[in-house]
Structure 1
Amino acid sequence: MTSIPWLTILVFLPLVGALLCLLSWHSAALCRWLALATSWGVFTLTAGLFAAFRQGGAGWLLYEDHAWIAPLGIRYTLGLDGISLLLVLLTGFLMVVAVLVSWRVTRFSAAYFALLLGMEAGILGVFLALDLVLFYLFWELMLIPMLFLIGIWGHAGRAPAAVKFFLFTLAGSLLMLIAIIGLHLVHVEAGGAPSFALEALRGTALPARVEPWLYAAFLLAFALKVPLLPLHTWLPDAHTEAPTAGSVILAGLLLKTGVYGLLRFGLPLFPNAAAASLPWLAVPALVGIFYAAWIAYVQTDAKRLVAYASVAHMGFVVLGLAAWNQTALEGSILQLLSHGITTAALFALVGMIDERAHTRRLDELGGLWGRVPRLGFFFLLFCLAALGLPGLNNFVGEIMILIGAFQTRPWWGAAAFVGVVFAAAYMLRLVQAVLWGPPRRRDFWPDLDVREGVVLVALALAALWIGLYPAPLLQPLQAPVADLLGQVPLGPGPGGVP
């Protein structure tokens, strides 16, 4: 398979589809089918890569490297390991979901689907790029389409939400760009050849006074995307005002790029600063779990509740990073997949309810189970997955994070366990408000149609697969996670159950 540039094909196929959508602007139906065919082709390719490399292994499973801007040492370098393998698989899968939930979009449909596919190319590039300049270009490519999706196809408050998203995005991008240039200059001053390649820069001996500042810029840029408390304020507004597909991609994929960037670039490039900072990352992670859970519990808008729940769940992911051992780190990466599937399903369900009820207010809903039982079944299933019910996807990642946290800092694990109880509180409140009780309105609601059923069945099967048999997803992670732990050695911390 290495004789064919599979990674380049994977990245540029969505861009070809986006161009075809723009050329078919005269037919909304043709744009939809082109977008679906392209996203399905990408997913098929990612599934094929997963089937070929599911055993994992040390080093790069696929690698492409070509000269690009030689005088500056900028190269076109893509690489696939076990971590990026799972994330590109998730990207391909959720983009098919995003296209299907957008099936009824008719306003400027050519631009809409072109932006979706352009964003997919950017996300795939972020998960595959191994040159920092190339990574930055893909980072921008994935963010700009989201700005337009919120600003043009969003809900009533789309303009302020888009502006806030843009400002936070711009701040994170500028921080990253400054740090990339600074790291390059330090590398050249240390006698290295001009380069932005991860492998070349990783071996740079950074002065003790410089490394913390460069690492802080990377950390803030990626923490803005996770987002870590108190950098989360852009996320609920963006989720609330984004179209359904925008929320699916934002929660399911864009937030994952922050964690991935930290794992792929931030920690390996600055191992000393990273080793000093990782234990402190547990503080905003734990605070975020409880704060976001409390704010989620008092929400009256179902979509906003799910948005704050997403912040809380990402707190568990960051806690696994802070614990920094094999079990916790594998659990964090697996939780990225689980969170992507669960939140994508919940945002899709909230969008389906909004299409029928024309409201997302909890005090105007109720009785969903009796009115649309198939939709109600899937709503209950994914709410149970979000609160960590054993047998469903979120449970596996959360229990691995908790076990890893107990091994490193027992009180972290104890505090995070209480956070699981808080998650149950706000998710059960959502279930009670939407599913149970008498209907507050008597107008007719159709149950799931075939398209909606296909989306939810696919997401449910993915949730059950991870919950019941996660081994095929954990196996590719073993070697790259062990390599990461070797690059940033924290040393043994206190462990065991208190």
Structure 2
Amino acid sequence: MSDFPWLLAMIAVPAIGAAVVAALPRERALLAKQVALGVSLVVLLLAVLTTLAFDAGGPRFQLTTSVPWIPDFGSDFALGVDGIALVMVLLIGVLVPLVVAASWHEADGGPRPVRVFFAWLLLLEAMMVGVFVATDLLLFYVFFEAMLVPMYFLIGSFGGPRRQYAAVKFFVYSLVGGLVMLASVIGVYVVSAGVLGEGTFAFDTLTRLDIDPDVQRLLFLGFFIAFAIKAPLVPLHTWLPDSGAEAPVGGAVLLVGVLDKVGTFGFIRYCLPLFPDASRFYAPFVLVLAVVGILYAALLAMGQSDMKRLVSYTSISHFGFIALGIFAFTTEAGTGAVLYMVNHGLATGLLFLVVGMLIARGGSRRIADYGGVAAKAPLLAGAFLVAGLASLALPGTGSFVSEFLVLIGSFPERPVFTVLATLGIILAALYVLLMYQRTMHGPARGVLLQEDPAEPLPGAGGGGATATATLPAPQRSLRVADLGRREIAVVAPLVALILVLGVYPQPLIDLIEPAVVATLDDMGAASGGTDR
């Protein structure tokens, strides 16, 4: 079983599935949905089997596959996972089937064929898996850029009213960042050729290069700009609120839940071990951006009237915590940062899904157009509450464990930045609870109301006098249904995972921590205490 190419299969299965779905006749929309769901469930099974085949106490990169790709450039189609990549692959495996199920009617009645929507989702899944499991730098770059294509079409073809603007903005930002990174990728190849006599893109070889510190700083910037845009860090964040708001709900879940994690994954996978001196040199600058992002995005989230934009801004704030944990250079903070990537994907994925379900019922993204939903849809309100509490890192949810590890691991090394970052926790409670209170409680209002026309009362005359008819107040009633069986099947696994990881996160920590220690060893940093 260990010789089976698990990682290659997790790329090939959804890619082939995308081609099959795209080739179906236009009128076979239901079949396209069923095939997409089946393929995504196969990928989830492969992710689980890959995890079972992975030995947490074994070599850093396992389940490797490597075949010659571009021999003249010293590049192989090389795949492998460490604990960090493995948990991200698991996150993809969990989220995509839920997104497919949640998007069952997302493209119905639109100008584009339904099969196209689900084909793009499956192709995006293949590219996302590839970017996390690639162990060849050039191959990583190819997957990094290839992810843009399916997400661009998901936003531009199936998004909201301003979908074209949001899709172009997303594409331009990401493409520019990728081109800057390409210059550094070429620079790394040239440096490796100068040191080894021939160029290479192999990650293991590159981590052993002794690169001049001044050269490191230049190469680091190329990677950092691309990853900071993808994450995104303030001030390179402005594409995310537009893309998150205009993307279809399923696309928004994968955009914020997985795609953005490629940026923070790139920090810890490539920036730290390849450019250790530059990482230490730029760390104060990155930490300033991280803390500014935590506070600035939280304040902007509080002022949003659009629910999807609010959730997008909360993600920008949360990514600041992840960057803080990575650039604190301690085992606890780094482990917390990677765990945060997983828990944020689950919590924000659930929040986007529930918001999408609410919008599907009310037809509006504005917070002010809702109120009193909990009285008529308690299951929807309950899922909304769990998602909100996980987003604000309430104890008992997985996000709390992540945030706690980041803060306790960062404080000894970066006390000022850590103290400032904790203010974001207070702001998170405000913007999450205010959104929940305004939409779920209080008097019924907004688009969820309909008025029944009042019947005129008969005149009550007496003694020849004419009495004025009294009109009753309009009858108002909520037009919102509670979660259906399909929707319950979508939200229930995420709720369960959020709560389970809040109580018992140790299995994921056991996978993540050895890879974090190996990363810090690669960069020659003191890894701090490893006791948990």
TM over 0.5: yes
Letter in 1 for 2:350: A
Q: Given that residues 444 and 478 in structure 2 are in contact (C-alpha distance below 8 angstroms), is that contact kept between their aligned partners in structure 1? A: no
In the superposition, the TM-score normalised over structure 2's length comes to: 0.90
**Rg (Cα) greater in structure:** 2
Larger displacement relative to structure 2 (66-75 or 50-59): 50-59
**AA at the equivalent of 2:114:** S
Q: Residue in 1 aligned with 2:208?
A: 203
Contact 1:275 1:489 in 2 (8 A): no
* Structure 1: distance between partners of 2:500 and 2:55: 15
**Which one of 143, 167, 171 corresponds to residue 148 of structure 2?**
143
Q: 1:461 aligns with which of 496, 502, 505?
A: 496
Per mean C-alpha deviation after superposition, the further-off stretch among 61-70 and 168-177 is: 61-70
Deviation of 1:200 (Å):
2.1
Name whichever structure is richer in helix by fraction: 1
How far apart are 1:443 and its partner, in Å? 4.4
1:137: how far off? 1.4
Query: Residue 286 of structure 1: SS of its match in structure 2?
Result: helix
Query: CA deviation digits over 1:249-298, x for unaligned, max 9?
Result: 00110011111112112221111111212233211111111100100001
Q: In the TM superposition, what is the alpha-carbon distance from 1:52 to its structure 2 partner?
A: 3.2
1:129 to 131, 134, 146: 134
Matched residue type, 1:449:
G
| Aligned counterpart, 2:358 | 353
**Superposed CA offset, 1:303-337 (max 9, x none):** 11111011111111111112110111100000001
Q: Give me the whole-angstrom Cα distance separating, in 2, the residues matched to 1:374 and 1:30.
A: 30
**Runs of 4+ more than 4 Å apart:** 490-493
What is the match of residue 54 of structure 2?
53
1:80 equivalent in alignment to 2:115: no
Contact 2:520 2:526 in 1 (8 A): no
Matched, 1:19 2:19: yes
Counterparts of 1:224-303 in structure 2, within 5 Å, are 224-303=229-308
1:485 aligns with 2:486: no
Moved more, 355-364 or 480-489: 480-489
Taking a change above 3 Å as real, the CA distance of residues 489 and 203 of structure 1, as seen in their structure-2 partners, is closer
Residues 334, 397 of structure 1: 8 Å contact kept: yes
SS in structure 2 at match of 1:388 = coil
Tell me the distance in 1 between the aligned counterparts of 2:294 and 2:199: 42
8 Å CA contact 1:296–1:308 kept in 2: the answer is yes
Tell me if the contact between 1:256 and 1:336 (Cα under 8 Å) persists in the aligned partners. Answer: yes
**Take 2:206 and 2:498, find their aligned partners in 1: how far apart are those partners?**
38
Gap runs ≥5 in structure 2 = 450-476
1:458 partner letter: P
The partner residue of 1:216 within 186, 211, 221 is: 221
Q: Within 5 Å, which residues of 2 pair with 1:313-392?
A: 313-392=318-397
Q: TM-score, normalised by structure 1?
A: 0.96
Task: Judge which range, 90-99 or 195-204, deviates more.
Answer: 195-204
Deviations 1:141-166 (A, max 9, x none): 21211011111100001111111111
Q: What CA RMSD, in Å, does the superposition of the two structures yield over aligned residues? A: 1.4
Q: Percent identity?
A: 41
**Aligned pair in 2 of structure 1 residues 351, 54: CA closer, same or farther (>3 Å)?**
farther
Work out whether residues 267 and 326 of structure 2, in 8 Å CA contact, stay in contact via their aligned partners in 1.
no
3-state SS of the aligned residue for 1:323? Answer: coil
SS in 1 for 2:411: helix
Structure 1 residue matching 2:396: 3-state secondary structure: coil
Q: In the alignment, is the contact (CA less than 8 A) between 1:292 and 1:309 conserved in 2?
A: yes
TM-aligned CA deviation for residue 490 of structure 1 = 4.2
- Letter matched to residue 3 of structure 1: D
Which runs of structure 2 are paired with 1:84-123 in the superposition (5 Å)?
84-104=85-105, 105-106=107-108, 107=110, 108-123=113-128
